[in-house]
Amino acid sequence: MGERLRPRDLALLAEESTTTPMHNATVEIFDPGESGFDHDCLVALISDRISFVPRYRQRLQSVPGRVANPVWVDDEHFDIGYHVRRSALPRPGTLGQLQELVARIVSRPLDRGRPLWEVYFVEGLGDGRVALLYKAHQVLVDGVDTVDLAQVLLDLTPERKELGGDAWEPRRRPTPTGLVADALRDTLGDATTGLDTARSTASAVLRGLDGTAQRAGRIVNGLAGRRPEREGPFAGELSQQRRIGAVWTDLQDYRRIRDVHGGTVNDVILATVAGALRAWLMTRSGSLGGLRQIRAVVPVSVIDAELEATALGSQIAAHLVELPIGEASPVVRLHQVSYSFKVHQETGRGVAANRLAGIAGFAPSTFHAIGSRVAAAERGRGFQLSVTNVPGPQSPLYAAGARMLATYPVPPLLPGHALAIGVTSYDGQVTYGLTADRDLVPDIDVLEQCLREALDELLDTVTGARPRVPRGRRKKSNPQQPAVKP
């Protein structure tokens, strides 16, 4: 019998709805060059390496009567052609067109009757480039039993490596009687199994009651003519559609700022986010309306035996930080962010960025997946935004000989959260991936510009030579812009 779903994974499934699909995504952009990298090549590459992530060929099977949590079972009808899909942009495709396609794809929940992942091979980008979009459910990639598929597909050199795959045959589908018998055997043999089932059932009931109360509250507010309460500038009732943004910056700029003002590259990135949010909110309302801070959850990598071990050599813990958006000085914002991480650094549990970047494979996609799980588990702590920053390798990576030029994460939105930010550094770049609700955040392009301006503002304090960039809304960029910055 397959492994039984853990209570925290079942909670993630219960949280999922048409407006809050609980999957992570990553976009990677490649230059095929002379490699011949195409859709068929991608299918062959995944077929060769999927044995390293066996859960990618498994689906969830519920137990009759819900006497125990669902189990992972082999998909007897596994069809790699269903999971590895082909799409295209009108040539020459732009970054904006790619982001619109990504937004439509990530807005759709995954089919729970099949293995919970999809990969899209996107053709038609400018200069002959192609993109990969990975999409995997949070219960699939936990960093313990399963890492993200992207982590096992990329190589350090352009030489193609065929690992031989495996002669996989699915195990026979369990019968309903067998599922119940195994559930009873697990319960009698391990008291924690019965306790987990009871907790999962109780949690499901409580979540159902909470959802009913929230719906009733909305009805009452609607009849009374009252607007729903918002906990912050990024809160609201989500729609089923998303907007996606991406901003490419130079890693060396962050290092220059760090070298002058102290702290870490992570501190500079979060100070940039704080400055961007400040400018963005001011373009929306003309003032911050007394808002001084935005509470953000920032998953951090630690060494802590009390936390669940991962296959990446460290654990992931939540760190709450107050982003000082009410502070006008970029340097003071940076020092305040640095101070908030000082206690974490002094515990000795922190993991150096260069150690994370040196993990085999392209680990940022897995770290982002774990970070999203940590953020979901911390919803009760009253934060308004999640920011996941993961360092990656600073040398080029390849898929079947094609060089990866750029990558950015597409983090999921939590219920009631209209914005999420993911950051990945790779090969000299720092890339911000923005996910926003399509209705609540119609001006994600302004936030993209504000991120660039906030970094420029910090650079001004280092060199003094860079001219100030005027704030405020700008005209949308030329639709014929290149597909990526590099």
Binned at pLDDT 50, 70 and 90, residue 312 comes out as: low
Would you say residue 361 has pLDDT above 50? yes
Taking only the tens place, the pLDDT of each residue in 98-127 is: 999 999 999 999 999 999 999 999 999 999
Residue 308, pLDDT score:
58
Token pair, residue 437, equals 């609700």
Q: Over pLDDT 90: what percentage of the chain? A: 56
> CB of 413 within 8 A of CB of 23?
no
Predicted confidence at residue 286, as pLDDT, reads 64
pLDDT for the residue numbered 315: 67
The pLDDT of 440-464, averaged and rounded, is 94
Joined together, the tokens standing for residue 1 give 């019998």
Mean pLDDT of 359-367: 70
The per-residue pLDDT for 255 is: 95
Q: Are 318 and 379 in contact (CB under 8 A)?
A: no
CA 70, 74, 75, 77 torsion-angle sign = negative
Structural Rg of the chain based on CA atoms:
23
What's the mean pLDDT in 242-248?
Answer: 97
What is the average pLDDT across 336-363? Answer: 61
- Residue bearing the bigger pLDDT, 127 or 142: 127
Q: What is the structure's pLDDT at 181?
A: 78
Q: Are 131 and 105 in contact (CB under 8 A)?
A: no
What integer best gives the mean pLDDT of the chain? Answer: 83
Model pLDDT, residue 274: 97
Q: State the pLDDT confidence band at 180, using cuts at 50, 70 and 90.
A: confident
Both tokens assigned to 157: 């050199």
Summarize the confidence of residues 437-454 as an average pLDDT: 96
Phi and psi (nearest 5°) for 81?
Answer: -65, -25
Give the model's pLDDT for residue 165.
Answer: 73
Q: Could you read off the pLDDT of 58-89 as tens digits, one per residue?
A: 999 988 887 888 999 999 999 999 999 999 99
* Eight-state DSSP code of residue 235: B
What's residue 313's pLDDT? 54
| 413-to-21, 28, 135, 269, 341 alpha-carbon distances in Å | 8, 20, 14, 20, 24
Give me the mean pLDDT over the 421-439 stretch. 96
Mean per-residue pLDDT, 429-448: 96
State the Cα–Cα distance between residues 144 and 401, nearest whole angstrom: 29
Contact 284, 260 (CB under 8 A): no
Across the range 304-314, mean pLDDT stands at 54
Q: What is the model's pLDDT at position 345?
A: 61
Per-residue pLDDT, averaged over 279-297, amounts to 84
Please name which of 301, 38, 78, 65 lies closest in space to residue 173, comparing C-alpha atoms: 78
Q: Please tell me the distance from the alpha carbon of residue 373 to that of residue 299, in angstroms, as a whole number.
A: 9
Contact 482, 95 (CB under 8 A): yes
pLDDT of res. 307: 53
**Higher-scoring residue by pLDDT: 460, 161:** 460
456-462 long-range Cβ contacts below 8 angstroms, 24+ apart: 457/275, 457/330, 458/257, 458/268, 458/271, 458/272, 458/275, 458/330, 458/331, 458/334, 459/253, 459/256, 459/257, 460/330, 461/257, 461/260, 461/261, 461/330, 461/331, 462/256, 462/257, 462/260, 462/261
More confidently predicted of 348 and 372: 372
pLDDT at residue 479, as a whole number: 44
pLDDT of residue 420: 97
The confidence score (pLDDT) of residue 121 equals 98
CB 353 within 8 A of CB 265: yes
Q: Is the dihedral of CA 342, 345, 351, 354 positive or negative?
A: positive
- In this prediction the pTM is 0.85
Is 313 or 459 the better-scoring residue by pLDDT? 459
